[in-house]
Amino acid sequence: MPRVKGCWLPDELDYDVGRQLWYRERADGLVEVGITAVAAAMAGRIFAVTTKRVGRKLAANEACAVCESGKVVGAARIAFPAEVTAVNEALMDAPEAINHDPYGAAWLVVVRPDDWPMAKGGLTPGTAVAEPYAALMEGEGFDGCDDAHSLRP
């Protein structure tokens, strides 16, 4: 399980490093989407999350959600065409969960990809994500997650 500059990045997920999103394939063929611990730590305390509605068709690079913190208002842009099948209503009521549990309770949306095998081919598997994230963090001048924001259970 990669840990880059104190930030946890689970092996079992796929990542879009440039957009700072993670993807978890479910047994039913749908895919959960969320923001990474790195993105959460860089943003600071998240105080608002707004997602697209169920049934919304998304193009590649279209926002599936918007997250707001004291530092940034950022669009979570999906890497591939998909349809939103579920939204995390609990997260909209308690957006700070992103800062504490980005890979569990703080998923943003569940989507039905138009072509998951093709989409997955463009993502970085968790087992290979450490180097790209180290480079991203270096390029952003981000020192990493401290103990309070290591975001690992």
- pLDDT per residue over 8-55, tens digit each? 899 999 999 999 999 999 999 999 999 999 999 989 889 999 999 999
| Total-model pTM | 0.91
Confidence of residue 148 (pLDDT cuts 50, 70, 90): very low
Tens of pLDDT, residue by residue over 80-122, are 999 999 999 999 999 999 988 999 999 999 999 999 999 999 9
Q: Judge whether residue 147 has pLDDT over 80.
A: no
Q: What is the rounded (10 degree) CA torsion for 13, 16, 22, 28?
A: -70
What pLDDT does residue 144 have?
84
User: Is 94 exposed, middle or buried, given 0-12, 13-18 or 19+ CB atoms closer than 10 A?
Assistant: middle
3-117 folds as OB fold (Dihydrolipoamide Acetyltransferase, E2P) (2.40.50)
User: How far, rounded to the nearest angstrom, does the alpha carbon of residue 136 sit from its chain's CA centroid?
Assistant: 15
d(CA 52, CA 63): 8
| Per-domain boundaries in the chain | 3-117
* DSSP character string of 52-110: PPTT-EE-TT-EEEEEEESS-EEEEE-SS-EEEEEE-HHHHH-TTHHHH-TTTTT--EE
Structural Rg of the chain based on CA atoms: 14
